[in-house]
């Protein structure tokens, strides 16, 4: 079977959950003997080639900065990529049985929809997120948000086989009138499935791991840690990652007088991330927007509870069973986050034990392998999954 994967980013040239998802999918299909092409924007130097074992990597556009200074996606790269995808799919030699694309950044999906009429391939679309009208307005303003919401609505109307990664976004797809079946894929975790070892006493440490962008709200942890330290003076914070909000996080640390208690080292080696998460009191994710929340599963795989913040666009709350593998803070406000962190501390080893049991019970369901099997099977009888092949492990940091 000839499969074309379409996404404007490629792991490890850019790092994020979607990048890992498509790389894993490409490697799996190639290992099963399928002819796989990965169409993306060029993210490597001139004279180099994007490399995915067994996969033909095609650059459908030049190297471009995807993000503006404030951390929002730029408009021009999606337009350029959409045009490149259209030209690629219409070329006579590029005939595919399946085109599997990310919904975002939208214009590549619209390009595939236009190209499908003369080509007749099966169109599969991953909806990592479906944004509400309110979120669009906050993201791009009244006029830009209205246009963005209309483009998203147009993409929803394209006949497709739709996948998403949370019940919240599954409901939004159906409410948006997606034309075709919708399947919620529960698994994105690519690590070991063995239960974590018996827990030990945790360090008084709260860990954040992710890109420092406005939606992640990493800076909200700083005043929360300061407030929690009034009852737990030894509590420290470790904010791992980098991005446009780094200066704001550092300013919050300074304003709270926590220069010696909260560390912001930037991106670190995955081994250091794993070690810090394993020993931490909890992993905190105060995001206002998450399509999945993989870091919650990663923390649970180490027996470490999570604290997430309730928000209208935060699907990560679906991965936290209250008092079993963590707590859901009522908001990302300092008082609510501090309360949730202190509840983790008070629960002690019993919560770490139940977190390990929660992971052992749910590991297979939440594994990326289970999702890849469903996706491969959706392509048709020729693409039945037969096992696990060369998955790109590591943490999702987007």
Please report, in tens digits, the pLDDT of each residue of the chain (398 residues total): 999 999 999 988 887 788 989 998 999 899 889 999 999 999 888 888 888 999 999 999 999 888 877 777 888 999 999 999 999 999 988 999 999 999 999 999 999 999 998 888 999 999 999 999 999 998 889 999 999 999 999 999 999 999 999 999 999 999 999 988 899 999 999 899 999 999 999 999 999 999 899 999 999 999 999 999 999 999 999 999 998 999 999 999 999 999 999 999 999 998 999 999 999 999 999 999 999 999 999 999 999 999 999 999 999 999 999 999 999 999 999 999 999 999 999 999 999 999 999 999 999 999 999 998 899 888 874 333 333 333 443 433 43
Model pLDDT, residue 4? 97
Instruction: Give 99's strand partners.
Output: 4, 123
Pairing assessment for the beta strands 326-329 and 306-309 based on DSSP bridges: parallel
Convert the chain into a string of H (helix), E (strand) and C (coil): CEEEEECCCCCCCCCCHHHHHHHHHHHHHHHCCCEEEEEECCCCCCCCCCCECCEEEEECCCCCCCECCCCCECCHHHHHHHHHHHHHHHCCCCCCCEEEEECCCCHHHHHHHHHHHHHCCEEEEEECCCCCHHHHHHHHHHHHHHHHHHHHHHHHCCCCEEEECCHHHHHHHHHCCCCCCEEECCCCECCCCCCCCCCCCCCCEEEEECCCCHHHCHHHHHHHHHHHCCCCCCCEEEEECCCCCHHHHHHHHHHCCCCCCEEEEECCCHHHHHHHHHHCCEEEECCCEECCCHHHHHHHCCCCCEEEECCCEEHHHHHCCECCCEEEECCCCHHHHHHHHHHHHHHHHHHHHHHHHHHHHHHHHHEHHHHHHHHHHHCCHHHCCCCCCCCCCCCCCC
Helices 334-366 and 221-228 sit at what angle, rounded to 10 degrees?
110
**CA distance linking residue 74 with residue 38, whole number of Å:** 22
The structure's pTM equals: 0.87
**CA distance linking residue 209 with residue 354, whole number of Å:** 22
What tokens appear for 208 in the block? 């954040």
What tokens appear for 374 in the block? 């469903």
Model pLDDT, residue 377? 85
Model pLDDT, residue 117? 84
Cβ atoms < 10 Å from Cβ of 49: 10
CA neighbor of 74 nearest in space, from 18, 140, 118, 165: 140
**CA distance linking residue 320 with residue 216, whole number of Å:** 17
Model pLDDT, residue 114? 96
Task: Please give the domain boundaries of the chain with CATH numbers for all domains.
Answer: 2-190+367-383 (3.40.50.2000), 205-365 (3.40.50.2000)
**CA distance linking residue 237 with residue 223, whole number of Å:** 11
């Amino acid at each position: 079977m000839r499969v074309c994967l379409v996404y404007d980013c490629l792991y490890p040239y850019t790092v994020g959950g979607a990048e890992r998802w498509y790389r894993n999918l490409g490697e799996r299909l190639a290992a099963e003997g399928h002819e796989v092409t990965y169409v993306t924007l060029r993210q490597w130097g001139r004279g180099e080639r994007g490399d995915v074992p067994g996969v033909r990597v095609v650059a459908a556009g030049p190297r471009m900065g995807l993000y503006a200074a404030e951390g929002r996606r730029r408009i021009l790269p999606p337009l350029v990529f959409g045009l490149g995808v259209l030209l690629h799919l219409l070329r006579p030699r590029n005939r595919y049985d399946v085109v599997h694309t990310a919904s975002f950044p939208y214009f590549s999906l619209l390009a595939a929809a236009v190209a499908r009429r003369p080509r007749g391939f099966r169109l599969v679309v991953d909806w990592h997120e479906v944004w509400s009208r309110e979120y669009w307005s906050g993201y791009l303003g009244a006029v830009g948000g209205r246009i963005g919401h209309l483009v998203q609505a147009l993409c929803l109307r394209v006949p497709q086989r739709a996948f998403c990664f949370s019940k919240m976004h599954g409901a939004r797809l159906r409410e948006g009138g997606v034309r075709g079946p919708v399947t919620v894929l529960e698994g994105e975790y690519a690590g070991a499935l063995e239960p974590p070892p018996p827990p030990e006493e945790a360090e008084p440490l709260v860990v954040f791991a992710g890109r420092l962008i406005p939606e992640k709200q990493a800076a909200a942890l700083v005043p929360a840690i300061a407030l929690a330290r009034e009852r737990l003076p030894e509590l420290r914070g470790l904010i791992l990652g980098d991005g446009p909000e780094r200066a704001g996080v550092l300013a919050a640390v300074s304003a709270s007088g926590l220069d010696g208690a909260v560390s912001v080292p930037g991106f670190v080696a995955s081994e250091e991330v794993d070690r810090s998460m394993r020993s931490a009191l909890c992993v905190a994710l105060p995001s206002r927007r998450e399509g999945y929340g993989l870091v919650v599963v990663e923390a649970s795989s180490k027996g470490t509870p999570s604290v997430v913040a309730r928000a209208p666009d935060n699907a990560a709350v679906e991965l936290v069973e209250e008092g079993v593998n963590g707590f859901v803070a009522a908001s990302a406000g300092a008082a609510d986050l501090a309360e949730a962190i202190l509840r983790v501390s008070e629960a002690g080893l019993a919560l770490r034990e139940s977190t390990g049991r929660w992971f052992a019970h749910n590991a297979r369901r939440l594994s990326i392998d289970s999702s890849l099997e469903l996706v491969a099977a959706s392509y048709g009888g020729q693409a039945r999954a037969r096992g696990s092949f060369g998955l790109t492990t590591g943490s999702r940091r987007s």
